[in-house]
């Protein structure tokens, strides 16, 4: 059995995927891991390239989805095709920091009872200052500390990265939970998955070592496309987190409300200040859905920014409805 499987999710990212696989070829400890590439029906030359590299990477397994299944189902396919003890997720347009992989394997091999390893990561090559406090808690955290750790507003705040990348999960911990995750979620998948997996974990290990570089500059990124129909997607996420919180008491209603509020505020900031001219028309067209979502967020956790935005949105919605009646 291999110690670690790298599960790479890919969709039309051949350019970045080539760089990642070329770096894997250069590693000396190739016998310690395998690579599961799940291609979600790409139309570029991703699969053709990988097929030519299979001789250089004998531990590479390529799975091509017949249809575009989405991220959650592709995760599951990757995990089901892995027989390693641990899973490391990679998005194909990001860059693992291969120079630190010796440290990664050393930490895993000396802590084989740990359920989740949390490593540090960069964003576009730079450290992320807001996680400084979180990464001051180093080493093993046992089950006794996990409950206050989660309910202490860490998982749904800036203190801990919500992402699945730069984390290593015990396969047996996560393989049975995909039925709990709504396949229709296309925003916040990592938040839902980590809510379950961290709740179940008995032991986690935190390391300040950087092993991943998150790329936000890819113009073909799926994250950029997720902004379409964004408000409805946040509503689905909100409802699913509430549903999961009833099964896992570690996740509080306050934390869910804070997290969804941050998504909504980042959305309105993007469309009002970064893409103002197309954005203002988009927001006007989405006013009923946005206003409905703001009303779902608990008044106890609403920030001043959201309260002001809610008043402003209410005025816009009233004006919008008045003009619609006037033109009938």
Asked if residue 236 lies in contact with residue 279, where contact means CB atoms within 8 angstroms, the answer is no
Mean pLDDT of 267-289: 50
Query: How much is the pLDDT for 327?
Result: 53
34 phi/psi in degrees, rounded to 5: -130, 165
Question: Among 108, 130, 149, 182, which Cα is nearest to 252's?
Answer: 149
Mean pLDDT of 69-80: 91
Contacts for 218-224 with beta carbons within 8 Å, 24 or more apart? 218/13, 218/16, 218/93, 220/12, 220/13, 220/93, 221/93, 222/11, 222/71
Mean pLDDT of 208-223: 81
Name the residue with higher pLDDT: 213 or 280: 213
Query: How much is the pLDDT for 172?
Result: 94
Is residue 20 pLDDT above 80, yes or no?
A: yes
Mean pLDDT of 275-282: 45
pLDDT digits over 296-319, tens only? 655 444 555 555 555 555 555 555
How many C-beta atoms lie closer than 10 Å to residue 5's C-beta?
25
- Exposure of 78 in the CB half-sphere (CA atoms within 13 A): 30
Query: How much is the pLDDT for 111?
Result: 94
Query: How much is the pLDDT for 173?
Result: 93
Structural domains in the chain?
Answer: 4-222 (3.90.550.10), 252-326 (no CATH)
Query: How much is the pLDDT for 294?
Result: 59
Buried b (16+ CB within 10 A) or exposed e, 97-132: beebbeebbebbeeeeebbbbbbbbbeeeeeeeebe
Question: Average pLDDT of the chain?
Answer: 77
Cα distances (angstroms) measured from residue 200 to each of 5, 148, 240, 288: 21, 14, 18, 37
Strand residues in the chain grouped as ranges (E):
4-10, 33-39, 60-64, 86-91, 95-96, 116-123, 139-141, 167-170, 204-214
Question: Among 91, 104, 114, which Cα is nearest to 20's?
Answer: 91
Is residue 92 pLDDT above 50, yes or no?
A: yes
The shares of helix, strand and coil residues in the chain, as percent rounded to the nearest 5, are 50, 15, 35
Mean pLDDT of 166-192: 86
27-36, 115-124, 318-327: lowest mean pLDDT where?
318-327
Query: How much is the pLDDT for 276?
Result: 42
Query: How much is the pLDDT for 286?
Result: 56
- Among the ranges 102-116, 260-274, 312-326, which has the highest mean pLDDT value? 102-116
Burial (CB < 10 A; 0-12, 13-18, 19+), residue 325, is: exposed
Taking the mean position of all CA atoms in its chain, how far away is CA 259?
Answer: 13
Asked if residue 169 lies in contact with residue 197, where contact means CB atoms within 8 angstroms, the answer is yes
Percent of the chain residues past pLDDT 70, beyond the cut: 66
Residue 104: pLDDT band by 50, 70, 90 thresholds? Answer: very high
Query: How much is the pLDDT for 180?
Result: 79
Query: Which positions ≥6 away from 133 have C-beta within 8 Å?
Result: 159
Burial (CB < 10 A; 0-12, 13-18, 19+), residue 180, is: middle
Mean pLDDT of 266-281: 48
Query: How much is the pLDDT for 232?
Result: 78
- Among the ranges 82-91, 146-155, 299-308, which has the highest mean pLDDT value? 82-91
Question: Among 133, 2, 12, 28, which Cα is nearest to 68's?
Answer: 12
Asked if residue 116 lies in contact with residue 108, where contact means CB atoms within 8 angstroms, the answer is no
Query: How much is the pLDDT for 96?
Result: 94
pLDDT digits over 226-252, tens only? 555 777 788 888 888 888 877 776 566
Is residue 156 pLDDT above 50, yes or no?
A: no
Query: How much is the pLDDT for 108?
Result: 95
Residue 48: pLDDT band by 50, 70, 90 thresholds? Answer: confident
Is residue 148 pLDDT above 60, yes or no?
A: no
Is residue 85 pLDDT above 50, yes or no?
A: yes
pTM of the model as a whole: 0.81
Query: How much is the pLDDT for 152?
Result: 45
């Amino acid at each position: 059995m291999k110690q670690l499987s790298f599960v790479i999710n890919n969709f039309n990212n051949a350019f970045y995927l080539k760089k990642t696989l070329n770096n894997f070829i250069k590693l000396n400890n190739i016998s310690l891991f395998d690579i599961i590439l799940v291609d979600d029906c790409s139309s570029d030359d991703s699969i053709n390239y990988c097929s030519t590299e299979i001789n250089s990477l004998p531990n590479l397994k390529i799975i091509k989805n017949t249809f575009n299944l989405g991220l959650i189902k592709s995760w599951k396919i990757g995990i089901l095709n892995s027989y390693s003890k641990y899973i490391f997720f990679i998005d194909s347009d990001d860059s693992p920091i291969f120079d630190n992989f010796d440290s990664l394997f050393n930490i895993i091999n000396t802590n084989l009872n740990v359920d989740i390893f949390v490593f540090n990561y960069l964003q576009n090559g730079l450290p992320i200052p807001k996680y400084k406090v979180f990464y001051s808690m180093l080493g093993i955290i046992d089950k006794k500390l996990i409950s206050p750790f989660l309910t202490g507003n860490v998982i749904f705040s800036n203190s801990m990265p919500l992402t699945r990348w730069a984390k290593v999960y015990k396969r047996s911990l996560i393989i049975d939970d995909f039925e709990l995750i709504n396949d229709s979620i296309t925003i916040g998948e990592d938040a839902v998955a980590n809510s379950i997996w961290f709740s179940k974990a008995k032991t986690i290990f935190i390391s300040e070592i950087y092993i991943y570089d998150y790329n936000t500059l890819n113009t073909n990124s799926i994250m950029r496309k997720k902004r379409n129909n964004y408000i409805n997607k946040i509503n689905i996420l909100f409802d699913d987190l509430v549903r999961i919180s009833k099964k896992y008491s570690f996740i509080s209603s306050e934390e869910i409300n804070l997290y969804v509020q941050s998504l909504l505020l980042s959305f309105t900031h993007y469309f009002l200040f970064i893409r103002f001219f197309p954005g203002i028309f988009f927001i006007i067209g989405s006013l009923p859905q946005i206003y409905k979502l703001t009303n779902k967020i608990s008044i106890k956790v609403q920030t001043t920014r959201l309260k002001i935005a809610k008043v402003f949105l209410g005025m816009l919605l009233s004006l919008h409805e008045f003009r619609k009646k006037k033109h009938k």
